[in-house]
A and B are shown apart, each in its own frame.
Chain A
Amino acid sequence: KAGVTQTPRYLIKTRGQQVTLSCSPISGHRSVSWYQQTPGQGLQFLFEYFSETQRNKGNFPGRFSGRQFSNSRSEMNVSTLELGDSALYLCASSFETLDGLNEKLFFGSGTQLSVL
């Protein structure tokens, strides 16, 4: 079974630009979450999507957005990039049972974003 795939692995952008990151979850997983990892703040939850709907949202500005497609693949977008957006962006997927229980998260290797 293929793992969680994130593309691209590395990105360099300049301030003010926008960026789109992609995530393909493990087959059969319908929940996709996004996390930001920075040296100072650790791993912080961005948002979670389930069946194309945003189900949970972390404490990030509106410049951070995402979506999920019918095949469970997800994208996140950051507009008007700031230097502080430089981070490792991690996508994770999980399998949710019919009674709403989620198994553990499986993470991708992440997209390292550098904003210059």
Chain B
Amino acid sequence: DQQVKQNSPSLSVQEGRISILNCDYTNSMFDYFLWYKKYPAEGPTFLISISSIKDKNEDGRFTVFLNKSAKHLSLHIVPSQPGDSAVYFCAASPQDNAGNMLTFGGGTRLMVKP
């Protein structure tokens, strides 16, 4: 039972355009969500998070949107850069407590073409 799903295994975008990565969840107890980026042979690095009391959080080129009623979140990267090419994971936690168990989606491989 996948509680966090990233339905697109890969996404290809032209440099300078917007990248939109999507994530769906099923567990209503999740109320803290995070996005991580992973390069090959490295551990995931934190990108941005959002609490369920918000519907949007922005950090530079990265914006995360949360739609609680649809149990859906998305990560927007604008403008996309070749260095953004990596695997992106969304993760969820039942409370604002990322040190506890995180449930990860399967990841989306983003390729930004120059």
Binding site for B on A (CB under 8 A): 4, 31, 33, 35, 42-45, 48, 50, 55-56, 58, 90, 92, 94-96, 100-110
Work out how many contacts link A and B, with CB atoms closer than 8 A. 64
**A107/B99 contact (C-beta < 8 A), A42-B105, A42-B107, A44-B104 known:** no
Binding site for A on B (CB under 8 A): 34, 36, 41-46, 49, 89, 91, 96-107
> Are A50 and B99 touching (Cβ within 8 A)?
yes
Cα A103 to Cα B100 with chains together (Å): 10
B24 vs chain A, min Cβ distance (A): 14
> Are A90 and B44 touching (Cβ within 8 A)?
yes
Which residues of A have CB within 8 Å of B99? Answer: 31, 33, 48, 50, 94-96, 102-103, 105
A62 vs chain B, min Cβ distance (A): 18
Minimal Cβ-Cβ distance residue in B for A42: B106
